[in-house]
């Protein structure tokens, strides 16, 4: 049996990430289906090295900005834990 190449390793990692992202989207779809009210959505995903945003119509701008600020704070806390 031959040693795995760097390409083989990258492919395994990429497939693992892809599966994790798709599972996350499945969870989102289920949550939307089960909710009494589903109003808006904002999804950001990194594709080919670039962040891409997908969203529904956004009508409640201020609450969305507040949630983004909380998300930013959470991400920064996680960064500090990794240091």
In degrees, rounded to 5, the angle at the alpha carbon of residue 69 between the alpha carbons of residues 63 and 74 is 130
Confidence (pLDDT) at 37: 92
21-65: pLDDT as tens digits: 999 999 999 999 999 999 888 899 999 999 999 999 888 889 989
| Per-domain residue ranges of the chain | 1-38
Q: Where are the beta strands (DSSP E) in 14-70?
A: 42-47, 50-55
Residues 6+ apart with CB under 8 A from 18: none
């Amino acid at each position: 049996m031959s040693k795995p190449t760097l390409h083989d390793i990258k492919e395994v990692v990429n497939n693992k990430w892809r599966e994790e992202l798709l599972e996350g989207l499945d969870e989102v779809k289920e949550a939307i289906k089960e909710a009494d009210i589903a109003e808006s959505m904002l999804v950001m995903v990194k594709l080919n090295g670039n962040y891409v945003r997908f969203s529904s119509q956004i009508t409640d701008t201020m609450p969305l900005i507040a949630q983004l600020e909380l998300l930013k704070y959470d991400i920064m806390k996680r960064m500090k834990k990794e240091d």
